[in-house]
Amino acid sequence: MYSGKVKEFLKKRKVSEGDFVKFVLKGVKYCGILLPNEGTSSTDSLMIKQESGYNVGINYNDVECLTNAGKKATLGGVSKFKDLKFNKQMPNVSLVATGGTISSRVDYKTGGVYMLMEPNEILKTTPELVDIINLDAIESPFRIGSEDMSPDLWSLMADIIAKRFNKGDVGVIVTHGTDTLHYTSSALSFLLKDFQKPIALVGAQRSPDRGSFDGSMNLICAAQYVTSDIAETAIVMHGTMNDDFCFANRGTKVRKMHTSRRDAFRPINTLPLAKIWPDGKKEVLNQYRKRDDSVKAKVCGGFENKVAIISAYPGADPEIIDYYVDKGYKGIIISSTALGHVPGYTQKKKDSWLPVLKRAVDSGVFVGNASQTIYGRVHPHVYRQLIELEQMGIVFLEDLLVETAYVKLMWALSQTKDLKRVKEIMLTNYVGEFNQRIVPEAFLY
Ligand code: GLU
């Protein structure tokens, strides 16, 4: 919301947010959409989305002859901007657009962020892409917020990505809501575990209509990533709060660690694969799987839906475990405290999880243990209770993130019912989901 002198300035000229405006700046005529000024540090700035797709902040004192061009930008607004012309000589990359803030915009009628931008409009927010890639296909199988994502949609995405790669693309960029982006990145990592080309998952914490839109730089860095030789499924998002560089973080070792910061995605228990600057400069920070264009893309496995994450906390009712067992669940990931604890030797015997967990394991439910501390690893030998849990048949999942453990267990259970084999799969390092040695700098990186 504009305030003070700028508000007066706009009021006098009968211009408000969302209006198409014409104005003169240093003798040159311009037109564009007046955006909300959120994200600009200067209270004297007008935020304008130009026809090129770029957002600029202009001091209102420098603006001459500002007039309302008579139209309101509604959901059709951005489609007015010119289509990007890609160069066929550049590397072939495709876009899988699934929804989220990166493909939404402020609806000026309601003031709310609206989720259903046409996928090709996402590109118009980032004209720089034409200098890096040739976008040869856009697939948009669904457009949803990532909170509405489901395992069958992860599989659908993997099928589309495999198809695109087998048509010869050098890389695929997936645009996606950020809330559950790290579940999807884990899912695609396992489904395409043997594949050796880069997949970049990108989102945004601010919508394209805002001056602080972060999706453009994320898309540019994603384009740089998918044309590199780092053949992993990675989340490519801002590394800092500024528009300086992105991190490409391994899909199974990354997490959204803040509700709203642009640099919310942090590597967990490892370093980022690489720092990537929009101009294409890269600094590799970790070991990575190398590109091999001769490997065909093949989707491996699917997801067993009857898997749950159950959190351990003081006072947590053990009956919740019985509920899942009785409902026929095949797998449970305990989000345990620190090294792997659950309420065990409670003052009141009825509050202990140990008997219900034993019942779960004895009934053939796979129970995995991953830590809710996020950093570090669970360990079955330090405390007596942990030794007992291990003897009971609960599998300690090292430094796996709870979310990665959940996705991996669904994936493992889709492939076999043999619990010995499930355990083997769960403890095999397929795509860098385990780290033997956690370097100290990885903490809160
Ligand atoms: N909650 C929505 C989602 O995850 C919007 C948040 C975002 O995209 O960053 O899709």
Encode pLDDT of 276-324 as tens digits. Answer: 999 999 999 999 999 999 999 999 999 999 999 999 999 999 999 999 9
Which amino acid is it at 273? L
Nearest to 181 by CA among 223, 138, 135, 236: 236
Cα 327 to chain centroid, rounded:
31
What is the per-residue pLDDT across 230-247, written as a single tens digit (0 to 9) for each? Answer: 999 999 999 999 999 999
User: Rounded to 5 degrees, what angle do the CA atoms 445, 211, 224 make?
Assistant: 50
CB 47 within 8 A of CB 10: no
399 is catalytic: no
Give the pLDDT band of residue 47 (cuts 50, 70, 90): confident
User: What is the average pLDDT across 182-187?
Assistant: 98
* 98, 101, 183, best to mutate for ligand 1 pocket (most atoms within 8 Å of CB): 101
Please, which pLDDT band fits residue 82 given cuts at 50, 70 and 90?
A: low
pLDDT of 155:
98
Q: Please answer whether residues 246 and 214 qualify as being in contact, where contact means their C-beta atoms are separated by less than 8 angstroms.
A: no
Q: Which of 101, 126, 233, 252 is catalytic?
A: 101
For residue 104, the CA-to-ligand 1 centroid distance in Å is 9
Contact 340, 389 (CB under 8 A): yes
Cα–Cα dist 131/140, whole Å: 23
Three-state DSSP state, 415: helix
Give the pLDDT score at 139: 94
Please give the domain boundaries of the chain with CATH numbers for all domains: 4-72 (2.30.30.520), 92-284 (3.40.50.1170), 307-426 (3.40.50.40)
| pLDDT tens by residue, 325-339 | 999 999 999 999 999
CA-CA distances (angstroms) from residue 26 to 10, 60, 65, 231, 422?
19, 12, 11, 48, 68
With vertex at residue 15, the alpha carbon angle to CA 14 and CA 21, rounded to the nearest 5 degrees, is 125
Residue 55, both tokens: 């957002």
Q: Of the candidates 53, 19, 57, which has an alpha carbon nearest to the alpha carbon of residue 41?
A: 57
Q: What is the mean pLDDT of residues 367-378?
A: 98
Q: What is the pLDDT of residue 113?
A: 64
**For 189, which DSSP code?**
H
Q: How far is Cα 374 from Cα 402, in angstroms, rounded to an integer?
A: 8
pTM score, whole prediction: 0.84
**Which tokens hold the place of 29?**
């005529």
Q: What is the rounded distance in angstroms from the CA atom of residue 202 to the CA atom of residue 425? A: 28
Calculate mean pLDDT across residues 43-52: 78
Model pLDDT, residue 54? 63
Q: How many CB atoms lie within 10 A of CB 148?
A: 13
Residues with CB under 6 A from ligand 1: 100-101, 145-147, 177-179, 203, 205
pLDDT of the residue at 75 = 33
Give the residue, by CA position, lying nearest to ligand 1 atom 9. 178
For residue 101, indicate whether it is catalytic.
yes
Structural element, H or E, at residue 265: strand 265-267
Confidence at 106, pLDDT banded by 50, 70, 90: low
Q: What is the mean pLDDT of the chain?
A: 92
Q: Are 101 and 53 in contact (CB under 8 A)?
A: no
Q: Is the pLDDT of residue 213 over 90?
A: no
